[in-house]
A = this chain, B = another copy of it.
Amino acid sequence: MSTPDWAALRADFPTLHQDVNGKALVYLDSAATAQKPRVVLDALQDFYLNHNANVHRGLHALSMRATDSYEAARLRTAKFVGAADPAEIVFTRGTTESINLVASSWGAANLKKGDVVLITEMEHHSNLVPWQQIALRTGATLRYVPVVGSDAELGLDLDALDRLLTPEVKLFAFGHGSNTLGIVNDAADLCARARKVGAITVVDAAQTIGHQPVDVRAIGCDFLAFSGHKMAGPTGIGGLYGRKALLDAMPPYQLGGGMISVVDFFETKFKPSPERFEAGTPNVADAVALVAAMDYLDAVGREAIAAHDRELAAYAATALAELPGIRILGPRPGQPRAGLVSFALKDAHAHDVVTFADQDGIALRGGHHCNQPLMKKLGLPSSTRASFYLYNTREEVDRLIVSLRRIVKFFSGV
């Protein structure tokens, strides 16, 4: 595998080539949403210009083309996540909807008092609140795998995990990559532990799917949720991988056109998965454009992207460590770091940091990163996050460090 020409790839992302507040944009917020290569925008245009029609129920040429493109997108997505059967891919708006689908459908049908739903303390609200609320609704007990360690050596407490994995645990949901801590969990290992007690596993792959190879069969999970917009695809589309046998046994989620087999006035028979879970007109254009994103990422190589992102994050973490009064969050040594680094400065609050950096053309994110309970536990009301993708460079990290130095100086008043 030859190394990609990163500088050349950067040219594929037109959005990056603009000035912000008079400075060349440095976009370090890809963990929130990624920029899109031109091929994705072209695919979107091409669909609307040439094939736009509603799917499934149409027999005219445009409709057949739209249906074929949509189902080809499902097949491509299955391949992208390593699923054997395209029927195991349900298109959703994104990670949040995918997890809600599992919590509402599988959860409501299978959870009851006495059961335990296990998640971890590092979950994004989208992989926390759905489980918290379905547990409240069904009477199941919600338990957390603790996050332990000091700031720069954080990780899941695996001993606690094994203790928590009792036969009452019906479902274990966890983030593959943490959007706040920059930790990548060993999903295959976690799933293997959970499987021993017969728990269903749900992997939130929002932060990893576009940044490294993700293979549901290698991981051995039952469900995996992801968002297109974080993997260089359009907003409004994402997916859920679910094992076919599980999906087919689940009650439908949303109801309406496209997911029914026979409707009578007082009863309805539903189609099997994946149609069962896709009520109404799906987001065809964005599903089709997602294919271009997957093709793009695989052409660059997700192994290479992972190495690139991780290298930038490590480079940034090392440089950040020099700043006075900084707390850097991160994985314990030996655990892979995702392509992002979160930190807090003693003298400058995250929002002030973000506003300052923005004046230097640098896009950062500050706040609780949809991770309030963890931040509270870490005693950090907020942190600042720089996140990297294949289009970021070392020079951009250098600009970040220069800006942060100025910020520290300004607020510490020295």
Main secondary structure of the interface of A (DSSP, over half): mixed
Q: Does A229 contact B (CB under 8 A)?
A: yes
Known: A61-B21, A133-B268, A255-B133. A262 touches B372 (CB 8 A): yes
Query: What is the CB-to-nearest-CB distance from A257 to chain B, in angstroms, rounded to a whole number?
Result: 4
**Residues 352-373 of chain A: 1 if any B CB is under 8 Å from the residue's CB, otherwise 0?**
0011011000111111011011
Residue A57 lies at the interface, judged by CB distance under 8 Å to chain B: yes
Q: Which residues of B contact A235 (CB under 8 A)?
A: 281-286
Nearest neighbor of A252 in chain B, beta-carbon distance: B133
Query: What's the nearest-Cβ distance from chain B to residue A5, in Å?
Result: 23
> Considering the chains assembled together, what is the distance between the CA atoms of A121 and B264 in angstroms?
11
The residue from B27, B54, B93 contacting A280, defined by CB atoms under 8 A apart:
B93
For chain A, give the interface size range. Answer: 35 or more
Contact with B along A41-63 (1 / 0, CB 8 A): 10011001110111001111111
Q: Which of A29-37, A214-222, A240-248, A406-414 contacts B (4 or more CB under 8 A)?
A: A29-37
**Minimum CB–CB distance for A97 against chain B, Å:** 6
- Would A32 and B63 be within 8 Å (CB), given that A256-B96, A281-B229 are in contact? yes
Asked whether A236 lies within 8 Å of B285 as measured between CB atoms, the reply is yes
Are the CB atoms of A61 and B358 closer together than 8 Å?
yes
Cβ contacts under 8 Å, A18 to chain B: 50
Top 5 A-B pairs, shortest CB-CB distance: A96-B280, A236-B283, A126-B256, A96-B256, A32-B54
29 pairs, CB–CB < 8 Å, chain A vs chain B:
A15-B52, A18-B50, A20-B60, A20-B61, A29-B63, A35-B52, A36-B52, A57-B367, A58-B354, A58-B363, A59-B355, A59-B366, A60-B358, A94-B280, A96-B254, A96-B255, A96-B256, A96-B257, A97-B280, A129-B260, A129-B263, A130-B254, A130-B256, A132-B267, A235-B283, A236-B285, A236-B286, A260-B372, A264-B372
